[in-house]
Amino acid sequence: MEGVRLDAVPMPLRWLAPAASWRADGSTLELAARPRTDWFVDPSGARPPVLDGAALVGEAAGDYVLRARVGVRFAATFDAGVLILFATETLWAKLCFELSPNDRPMIVSVVTRGASDDANGFAVAGDEVWLRIARMGRAFAFHASADGEAWSLVRHFTLGDDVVPEVGFEAQSPTGEGCEVRFDDIRFEPHRLAGLRDGS
């Protein structure tokens, strides 16, 4: 598939897996997930890996911060809008705004090193939230925010020495017939995040 350019990010984006439909304009990206698509490697081994959620990623060198407001038209459990880091099919991570089984939108994170873990964060009131990925050398931080100003740390981790994953956007609908995700207020800032836990 043809790559995508967004004015808000300096690098071209390539498809890891296709969307049902998509639109890109300036600092806005809309992705529609295809039915029953996801990024997950079951840690129990009971189910085969699912690696087909609509995803656009690009190469970003050095320290950076990528943030976006994520709005999701939730329709089924685990529908989500996602910021994703991708090195290989067995080495990647994602920060999700996801519909939980009790019909509450939540912040969820997954880090995959061979198999995926699955960590619930906190519930979100409404159908949009800001998500952020920061790279700091070999480490990454996931943050979320209700207003795009005060940020809560969700995850601090590494994917390993000398691993420089691509970064980007994903939409998924693991149990449903698809969902629509809108990423706007997208910003890519080529600097090191000053503080992990001070809300900045």
Return phi, psi of residue 159, to 5°: -100, 5
Q: What's the fold here for domain 14-189?
A: Jelly Rolls (2.60.120)
In this structure, the dihedral spanned by the alpha carbons of residues 144, 174, 16 and 119, taken in order and rounded to 10 degrees, is 40
Closest CA to 22 of 196, 182, 155, 140: 182
The yes-or-no verdict on residue 12 having pLDDT over 80 is yes
**Six token digits for residue 103:** 């019909």
Taking residues 187-195, what's their average pLDDT? 95
CB atoms within 10 A of CB 168: 28
**What rounded mean pLDDT belongs to the chain?**
97
Predicted pLDDT at 3 = 86
Taking residues 19-30, what's their average pLDDT? 96
The yes-or-no verdict on residue 2 having pLDDT over 80 is no
Contact 167, 83 (CB under 8 A): yes
Kindly indicate the confidence band of residue 133, based on its pLDDT and cuts at 50, 70 and 90: very high
Q: What is the pLDDT of residues 69-91, one digit of tens each?
A: 999 999 999 999 999 999 999 99
End-to-end CA distance of the chain: 37
Predicted pLDDT at 199 = 84
Structural domain spans, the chain: 14-189
Percentage of the residues of the chain whose pLDDT score is greater than 90:
95
**Six token digits for residue 150:** 């005060």
The yes-or-no verdict on residue 1 having pLDDT over 70 is no
Contact 142, 155 (CB under 8 A): yes
Taking residues 106-111, what's their average pLDDT? 99
Sequence-distant (≥ 6) Cβ neighbours of residue 122 within 8 angstroms: 106, 107, 144, 152
What is the residue type of 123?
A
Q: Is the pTM of this model over 0.95?
A: yes
